[in-house]
Structure 1
Amino acid sequence: MAPSGDAKLLFCIFFISCCCLTVTLAEVPVDCCLSVGKQQVIKHAIVDYHRQVAGQGCSLNATILVTRRQVRLCVPANEQWVEKVVEHVEKLRAHCRKNKYKKPLCSKMMPRN
């Protein structure tokens, strides 16, 4: 093959690779809460939480509470009772971290970096 043919082949491979990468990056699914429940949750059933921010791939602000059975509950982000549940999870996480997650209470806790 002539040198110009090699360059064309290399360009085609590079172009196709870039197109595939763009399509792959554009299709990253985002797991969002579509609505939030107003019913309060018992804080002792919750082992983790995540914040969902509107405008970062999701349409509304929410706090996602994770139960010991890994059920995800979407609750309002700004409610006072939600903040108390989050504080409880943070205290529990600190307690479990201190005890290296060895206590039965910590069996379902997920360590964070």
Structure 2
Amino acid sequence: MEPRASVLLLLLCAALCTAQVELMDCCLSVANRRLRPDSVERYRLQRAGHGCDISATVIQVRGGRQLCLPPPENQRWIQRLLKVVDQRKSRQQ
């Protein structure tokens, strides 16, 4: 009976570990849509190969809507946008 108990315990541990995996929404494509910095609430960078197929800048605008923009590398306007958002966030803290 002890081998059965250890197998059941192992299965329970495996089920709990997989249940705690965080699901992430991935951008499937990006748009070259310019935004005003004051409309951006927050952002995160999505990297290809880390759970998603493409790299992108995921922008959350006021109202909770998310937009997928190109990654900041080689996109100076996105670099400037993220810098302004970061500066605004640091002033608020």
TM-score by length of 1: 0.70
1:56 and 2:47 equivalent?
no
Which residue does the alignment assign to 1:76?
Answer: 70
Q: Secondary structure at the match of 2:57?
A: strand
Shift of 1:69: 1.4
17 and 76 in structure 1: CA distance in 2 versus 1, 3 angstrom threshold: same
46 and 23 in structure 1: CA distance in 2 versus 1, 3 angstrom threshold: closer
- Partners of 1:95 and 1:89 in 2: how far apart? 10
2:91 to 90, 95, 110: 95
Q: Secondary structure at the match of 1:73?
A: strand
Structure 1 unaligned runs (5+)?
A: 98-113
- Partners of 1:46 and 1:22 in 2: how far apart? 35
- Partners of 1:32 and 1:66 in 2: how far apart? 13
Which residue does the alignment assign to 1:44?
Answer: 38
Q: Secondary structure at the match of 1:66?
A: strand
Equivalent residues, number: 91
- Partners of 2:14 and 2:40 in 1: how far apart? 43
| RMSD of aligned Cα (Å) | 1.9
Structure 1 moving runs of 4+ over 6 Å: none
Structure 2 unaligned runs (5+)?
A: none
Which residue does the alignment assign to 1:34?
Answer: 28
**Between the two proteins, what is the percent identity of the paired residues?**
24
